[in-house]
Amino acid sequence: MAVPAHYISQTCLCCGHVSRENLKTQAIFECVGYNYANNADVVGSINVLERGHRLLACEVRGTTMPTAT
């Protein structure tokens, strides 16, 4: 299953805040909106997994996944 990669590394797991400033370095993620911090690869991986789950759920229900605005 292909998962849209838009803003994967810039999206906070806790609050959903998307910002270029959340990605401090290639390895450090720190949300400027929620003050959540973690390894950037961990955050990206969890975001990919979560988006995959949402896509799969939409397929099962026969709907389309809402796009980010």
Domain spans of the chain, in order of start: 8-61
What would the pLDDT profile of 6-47 be if each residue is shown by its tens digit? 999 999 999 999 999 999 999 999 999 998 999 999 999 999
pTM of the model: 0.79
Looking at residue 54, its amino acid is R
Say which residues have a Cβ less than 8 Å from residue 14's Cβ, sequence separation at least 6: 31, 34, 36
> Could you give the CA distance from residue 27 to residue 31 in angstroms, rounded to a whole number?
13
**pLDDT for the residue numbered 69:** 47
